[in-house]
Amino acid sequence: MRQRLGALGVPVPDWAEVGDRSALASFLAAHGGAAVVKTPRGGYDGKGVRVVRSAAEAEDWLAAGPLLAEELVDFRRELAQLVARRPSGDVASWPLAETVQVDGVCAEVIAPAPHAGRLADEAREIATAVADGLDVTGVLAVELFETADGGLLVNELAMRPHNSGHWTIDGAVTSQFEQHLRAVLDLPLGDTSPVHPVSVMVNVLGGPAGARMPDRYPAALAAHPDVKFHSYGKESRPGRKVGHVTATGVDAPTTRERARAAATFFDA
């Protein structure tokens, strides 16, 4: 992914493939003594991602094969640009979203990203260039860092409907799931306009109690008639994404508070 993005001229963090301790030590020395190492396969939700300050801290993973080492980006916030592309070439983009990660796992998404300004255009141009350059069919999420100096770097790509786009079910004319089907069938892409000024999605993670999300629907629905609840029907395991809630409203702070309050009904 990093090689292809580099070839497309898309801004990415400094990176290197490191096969052994000395290669990682050199990378650390050249990047202020800290790096993010990532396993090339199988990672998600922060699994396979580790911040290291010495090569020894990646010893176990290096034993299994080469790793991706990246500079530890000093970001202001994380953003995600969702687009969809159909084989005949049309690309549709939803508003840029802000994503909040806790322990490497997406916790909240705010759409549109507050105070995005020119970053909204830049993100759309980057995601469109990636979709065209990689000949993507379907939904593509481009995870981005907004750097301390106000620039954008691409973190990673997800070539599918993505957690950063779940808000579109309740908050956009066309959801990412409908759009994905439209795109793969090469049908006209739907309208990506938001239907409310702000949508905030909060993830529901499984906990040790093992309660299923729908068990708590009556209380949650009674308390929050204006919030939308989604359960994935998955077995609840600690830290596993088992559902989400979406609140829509007119301003980000109060909409976020409503979404957070509704999600607490499913706390373990």
Ligand X SMILES: Nc1ncnc2c1ncn2[C@@H]1O[C@H](COP(=O)(O)OP(=O)(O)OP(=O)(O)O)[C@@H](O)[C@H]1O
Residues of this chain that bind ligand X (CB under 6 A)? 13, 36, 38, 43-46, 49, 70-73, 78, 101, 104, 143, 155-156
Q: How far is the CB of 4 from ligand X (least distance, A)?
A: 16
Q: How far is the CB of 68 from ligand X (least distance, A)?
A: 9
| Residues 221, 108: Cα–Cα separation, whole Å | 20
Sites for Mg ion among residues 113-152 (CB under 5 A): 143
The interface partner of residue 170, options being Mg ion, ligand X, none and the CB cut-off 5 to 8 Å by kind, is: none
| Residues 165, 110: Cα–Cα separation, whole Å | 10
Nearer to Mg ion, 55 or 201 (CB): 201
The interface partner of residue 66, options being ligand X, Mg ion, none and the CB cut-off 5 to 8 Å by kind, is: none
Nearer to ligand X, 62 or 141 (CB): 141
Identity of the amino acid at 149: D
Structure tokens at 248: 């829509």
Nearer to Mg ion, 78 or 178 (CB): 78
The interface partner of residue 14, options being Mg ion, ligand X, none and the CB cut-off 5 to 8 Å by kind, is: none
| Residues 142, 162: Cα–Cα separation, whole Å | 10
Say whether 101 sits in a helix, a strand or coil: strand
Kindly give the residue spans of alpha helices, DSSP state H, lying in the chain. Answer: 2-8, 21-30, 59-62, 118-133, 168-171, 176-184, 217-223, 252-263
Nearer to ligand X, 144 or 213 (CB): 144
- 224 near 201, Cβ under 8 Å? no
Q: How far is the CB of 169 from Mg ion (least distance, A)?
A: 20
Q: What does the binding site for Mg ion look like in residue numbers (CB under 5 A)?
A: 143
